[in-house]
A and B are shown apart, each in its own frame.
Chain A
Amino acid sequence: MIRFLIGKMPSFLLVAFVSSVIAFVLPRLAPGDAAVELAGPDATPELVEGIRAELGLDQPLWQQYLIWMGGVFRGDLGQSYILGRPVTELIGGRLESTVELAVLATIIMIVVGLVLGVLGGSPRSTAARSVIDGFNTVFLAIPPFLTGLLLILLLGLAIPLLPVSGEIALFDDPELGIQYLILPAVALALPQAAVVARLLQTSMLTARGEDFVDLARAKGARPSRVTRKHVLRNSFGTVVVVIGLRIGDLLGGAIVVEAIFARNGLGTLAVTAVQSRDYLVVQALILGAVLIAVVMQLLSEIVLAALDPRVRLGG
């Protein structure tokens, strides 16, 4: 296992490093400059230069990068140029909203995906199967924001059950908070759940055709036992990997879902930061999103390795 991890490290570190460089360089390729904005309306060129020096924007790029990375390792992401507040504080203030959304969406994705996948991959009536297939096909085809809009029209307006806009932190008022959270989380989760379900289903159906399943069945094992012990266990690895990969996508989708449901989370912060060219905020968020996606991928590979001795030993 440890050897497996060590083997994975270089490529992980490489991706992390390159992402950090991209996250750092991209905003600086943009036209416009935080110093100009900060200097305000009546600024003289000298004032702009002064502010630029104060912010360290006059140093060579690589030096700025090193300073920034040094800060990142100390947990200091710098100060927002525009708001004059530490970036960590800004992100911290919005984190709860996005974490609540992402966690609930992940849970829904896993539960719905597994349930539908197992149902679809087990012997069922044609009717049940076509319902499941229909669900998968529809949600594979439409992205979270469209699911969200349809949910707003259906459960927010046609049958007004849930609030469609705004949020309350779960810690402030769990009862109301969850009502605000349900629609966005479902919208975010369903398309990903369909991916998980479809994959699990395919993998189970393939496994069902394998010799060892036939053997188990020939030995007289009950169908449910065959499904649980033989088919499901063999399909699990794929599912774990896919769930890991989907979480990265889920974060990307959260940006639009937050916009649609007017949640004040990290996605909204990213959009406003792009609009006001608040480099340090944008780069921290880009880096964070990419790192989470990469870590999730790594984690799913580790789980896969733990499940499958071939991967673990073969590296």
Chain B
Amino acid sequence: MTTTDPTTPVLSAEEPDTGRRRIPGARYLQAFRTPRGMVAAVLVLGLALLAGLAPVLFPGGYDEQTPDALLPVSLAHPFGTDELGRDIFVRSIYGLRTDLALVLYAVPAAMVIGTILGLLGAVAGWLGTLVQRMLDIIVGFPGLILGISVVLVVGTGFWGLVISIVLIGLPTFGRLARQVLLTQQNREYVLAARTLGIGRWRIMVRHILPNTLDPILVQGSVFIVQAVFLEAGLSIVGLGIQPPEPSLGSLLNLGMRYVEQAPTYIIGPIVVLLLLALAFSLLTDALNEAVNRK
């Protein structure tokens, strides 16, 4: 019986090793040749650029206060203004920046640590089993409960969120890597390589690691969306990013107070959040398609 999240794409753990990858990146670039992939690329790049260039585009920063509080939508303020007269569009972009920064730290960390943990089984069988039991326990904690537990220890703010996201991501990546390891370990070529006296490390680096790359990468794309939602969830309840620093979640936290007076206050961050989710879902699909195409 498997307890993996059923929403995660079922991936190439069963596929034979294609072995030869001359230009490793090229396969992934194929993802962007489909229309869906192109939309994904444009969206992701667009959002990343917007976030990255925010200080250039909006040199006033996210804290430019004016006397015009809670203005409705207008050309000058596409999402209106907040209670201190700050432009919510600008704040949403800076919020996006915070979220993407979070993703940039947390997701690669979760991928790398998770994969290493998953592959530990290759060192010794018992170690692999032990790691899996530990991951099982993490899975037992519903996502936000785990987040709250982490915040309890390290406190609210950016790094609390990074740690929560990494912890929540570990089981997914760890299990995925282990799945690949187990299938590959019993493949004939691995058994053959072993009888030929090729060392464990060599087998690991040459054969098993490349095979984990595809599923981990696709899963990483899925996980980006989860990470952003986790930030939003924790910040909404007040345990994530603390105002005045904007994040998509902390904007929602503030905006909830004014939901009846100025609904656009939360609509802005929601739109950005949805765009972000859409971009990375499309990216996941495109990547998935690309790695499964042989």
Contacts and interface: CB of A to CB of B under 8 A. Distances in A.
**A–B proximity contact (CB within 8 A):** yes
Interface string B130-152: 00010011001111110011011
A139 to B, nearest CB: 11
A274 B151 contact: yes
A255 B141 contact: no
Top 9 nearest A-B pairs by Cβ distance? A252-B142, A252-B144, A259-B237, A256-B233, A29-B153, A143-B229, A26-B149, A289-B145, A199-B6
A53 interface: no
A27 B260 CA distance: 37
Contact of B7 (A140, A142, A260, A304): A140
Given A195-B7, A275-B238, A164 B1 contact: no
Interface stretch (A38-46, A67-75, A218-226, A290-298): A290-298
Contacts of A29: 153
A157 interface: yes
A252 B1 contact: no
Interface string B251-262: 010001001100
Contacts of B273: 146
A263 interface: no
Given A156-B259, A245-B3, A286-B148, 14 more contacts: A143-B232, A146-B229, A146-B270, A149-B252, A153-B263, A198-B7, A248-B142, A249-B143, A255-B148, A270-B145, A274-B152, A286-B141, A289-B145, A290-B140
Contacts of B232: 143, 145-146
Contacts, number: 124
Classify chain B: how many residues form its interface, as a range: 35 or more
Contacts of B281: 141
A128 interface: no
B152 A30 contact: yes
A209 interface: no
Contacts of A31: 155
Q: Which DSSP category, helix, strand, loop or mixed, fits chain A's interface?
A: helix
A123 B248 CA distance: 41
Given A26-B153, A145-B232, A157 B145 contact: no
Q: Which DSSP category, helix, strand, loop or mixed, fits chain B's interface?
A: helix
Interface residues of A, number: 55
A18 interface: yes
B11 interface: no
Contacts of A255: 144-145, 148, 233, 237
A270 B238 CA distance: 12
A97 to B, nearest CB: 16
A181 interface: no
A18 B137 contact: yes
B237 to A, nearest CB: 4
A204 B256 CA distance: 41
B104 to A, nearest CB: 21
A293 B239 contact: no
Nearest to A16: B140
Contacts of A249: 142-143
A234 interface: no
B236 A145 contact: yes
Interface string A280-315: 001000100110011001000100100000010000
Given A149-B270, A252-B143, A30 B153 contact: yes
A289 B144 CA distance: 11
A198 B6 CA distance: 9
Contacts of B203: none
Contacts of A195: 6-7
Nearest to A288: B145
13 contacts: A14-B133, A26-B152, A29-B153, A30-B153, A145-B236, A146-B229, A153-B259, A255-B237, A259-B236, A270-B148, A286-B145, A289-B145, A293-B142
